[in-house]
Amino acid sequence: KRVEMADGAWLLRHHALDVSSTLLHAVDQISSAAPFRHMVTPGGFSMSVAMTNCGPFGWVTDRRGYRYQTTDPESGKPWPAMPQSFQSLAESAARDAGYPDFIPNACLINRYEPGAKMSLHQDKDEKDFTNPIVSVSLGLPATFQFGGMNRTDPVRKHVLSHGDVVVWGGPSRLFFHGIMPLKDGIHDAAGRARINLTFRHAAV
Ligand code: MD3
Ligand code: FE
């Protein structure tokens, strides 16, 4: 079942449920090579969400700004490879939402512990906004806020749960969005956390 949350944003509920344990196992492997870390924003604040990446490009932030880079700034080594399970899932979700040509080359992995949040923002660090973004939610549920093209546009709230996949394309690609502070809980497969995989086509 596909639900259009906004113009071009498709919610594929439970699309990743049957591969969720494979994905979580891969996240453990990736984070043993490139550990989760709290990156610093250009304004000097440490993010409450812990992040790592896999694939050819990784998203990073520090005092110098936001960007994609091919190496992990903590180790100087390339990011861990993108597992085939990640690539296949992202491509199948994009295809189901009408983007048969999407090939992700960047996967940002966000880890939320209780209280962690992501304030309203736009994703503008990619070069080509015709490529969609595919996001996969695992572990504890979170309340997602979805606005419009302007920061002050009204926001709608949606709960994203374990196994849910959303494909953000078309006009929604540049809409403001965020995650409310994570409520405490324990998830059978992921423990006291929410993991979000965000697949993008990046370029330097
Ligand atoms: C809507 N992550 O990493 S996923 C991000 O749950 C980010 O960790 C959130 O926002 C998270 O940038 C939200 C859903 C998401 C991702 C990208 C989007 C929604 C989006 C890009 C455009 C519009
Ligand atoms: Fe975002």
123-178 pLDDT, tens digit each? 998 888 999 999 999 999 999 999 999 999 999 999 999 999 999 999 999 999 99
CA distances from 164 to 91, 99, 188 (A): 15, 18, 16
Mutate to test the pocket of ligand 1, among 123, 126, 130 (most ligand atoms within 8 A of CB): 123
Tell me which residue of 125, 23, 144, 157 sits closest to 83, measured CA to CA: 23
Query: Tens of pLDDT along the chain (204 residues)?
Result: 899 999 999 999 999 999 999 999 999 999 999 999 999 999 999 999 999 999 999 999 999 999 999 999 999 999 999 999 999 999 999 999 999 999 999 999 999 999 999 999 999 988 889 999 999 999 999 999 999 999 999 999 999 999 999 999 999 999 999 999 999 999 999 999 999 999 999 987
> What atom of ligand 1 comes closest to residue 49's alpha carbon?
8
Residue nearest atom 12 of ligand 1, based on CA coordinates: 123
> What atom of ligand 1 comes closest to residue 196's alpha carbon?
8
Mutate to test the pocket of ligand 1, among 48, 121, 135 (most ligand atoms within 8 A of CB): 135
Buried b / exposed e over 146-172, threshold 16 CB at 10 Å, is bbbeeeeeebeebebbbbbbbbbbbeb
From CA 143, how far away is CA 23, in angstroms rounded?
A: 21
User: What's the pLDDT at 1?
Assistant: 82
Residue nearest atom 3 of ligand 1, based on CA coordinates: 198
> What atom of ligand 1 comes closest to residue 110's alpha carbon?
8
User: What's the pLDDT at 22?
Assistant: 98
> What atom of ligand 1 comes closest to residue 108's alpha carbon?
3
pTM for the model: 0.97
In this prediction, does ipTM exceed 0.85?
Answer: yes
Residue 110 CB–ligand 1 contact under 6 Å: yes
Tell me which residue of 135, 120, 109 sits closest to 51, measured CA to CA: 109
Tell me which residue of 34, 27, 19, 21 sits closest to 70, measured CA to CA: 34
